Amino acid sequence: MSDVETLPQAAPARPTLPPPMGLLAELTHRCSLRCPYCSNPLELDRRSQELSTAEWKRLIDEAAALGVLHIYFSGGEPMLRRDIAELVAHARDAGLYTNMITSGVGFQPAVLDAVAEAGLDHIQLSVQAIDARTCDRVAGYEGAAERKRIVAAAIARLGLRLTVNAVIHRENVHEIPAFVELAEAWDAARIEIAHVQYYGWGLVNRARLMPTRQQVETAMVQVDEARSRTVGRLVIDSVLPDYYARYPKACMGGWGARLMNVTPSGRALPCHAAETIAGLAFDNVREASLSEIWYRGAAFNAFRGTDWMKEPCRSCARKEQDFGGCRCQAMALAGDAAATDPACSLSPLHEKLVALAEAEAASERSDFIYRGYQGV
């Protein structure tokens, strides 16, 4: 699907629609890593396009007035912004719970001290692999593993609540028990064991990243065992590869239901990958308020609820549970954002998708195609 006329038309906002729970604030696309599964757009926003400090402060105030509870400072690497501590302090003063998603690489140690002093509540630290050589190779950055170890120690020293983000793929799926042990050693409150989701650069590298079905089944057992062992001490969240699932995930808890995403240049998105859907027009926060975009924005209303659904989703008993799955994945794999997510076993494309995954997982390993940041 590439014709805007085939997309659902914007619906009037429903009076009972609750406000978003979270705001994902992508402060910059600049990053020191070159991860082959990066979910940022293929075309990155340049530094010259980034929202200013004053613009982000206005958005933080608008988010608090709208009813947002959490703000997630992300990127790229958010701590490459010179105003990061100032923005964290502003969000704290606005009454928002502050979370930061970081690679732990590319910024000066003093920046972490500054954001902690500014009142940061929580930090998420990504780890590409347990084996240091693999970690550096996946990150495309020599010394990444050691840098993450140093940052983890600083987080503990500062008393920040920590989540370890472990992005799982064929290169590190065997390390899941070790990832859990690492999270325990770092005194993390939570670990996300999240298999790669194939959007953006991850889709480019799918054949190099896809685990086998047996690896995924083993991973599920290992996660269950780890949960039993760490109950009450460590929260373990797990996201499976969609391609091997029976039913799709309820992406974002439903389109336009829980989260707003603002890109470095100010585009407001219902989800991180929404710009991959041809034909959707996205409002910019430089031209409209967060409230107006949330309740009236055409993109946010395009796939809200269930009225837009086609069969088999329209008559499915699970439609209020998974909302037809991921719209971006439907666009990428079925060519139609309103189609049933091919990750669902009820999709006519599901068996082809599983066969594709198994074939790619069995393929010979080849070098990653790394993303570049030239000119960003």
Residue numbers belonging to the annotated binding site: 31, 35, 38
* Residues 29 and 75 sit within 8 Å (Cβ to Cβ): yes
Helices 132-139 and 144-158: crossing angle in degrees, nearest 10, is 100
Binding site listing for [4Fe-4S] cluster: 31, 35, 38
Position 138: which residue type? Answer: V
CA dist 20 → 17, 71, 100, 257, 260 (Å): 9, 11, 18, 7, 7
Q: In the chain, what is the straight-line distance between the N-terminal and C-terminal CA atoms, in Å?
A: 30
For residue 223, how far is the Cα from the chain centroid?
Answer: 20
Q: Assign residue 76 a region: left if phi > 0, alpha if psi is -120 to 50, beta otherwise?
A: left
Three-state SS at 23: strand
Alpha carbons 283 and 297: distance in angstroms, whole number:
7
**Cα dihedral sign for 176, 182, 187, 192?**
negative
Contacts of 41 (CB under 8 A, 6+ apart): 200, 275, 276
For residue 51, how far is the Cα from the chain centroid?
Answer: 20
Alpha carbons 172 and 179: distance in angstroms, whole number:
10
- Where does 187-336 show beta strands of DSSP type E? 190-195, 235-239, 259-262, 268-269
* Residues 279 and 298 sit within 8 Å (Cβ to Cβ): no
Backbone phi, psi, residue 142, to 5°: -70, 130
For residue 373, how far is the Cα from the chain centroid?
Answer: 19
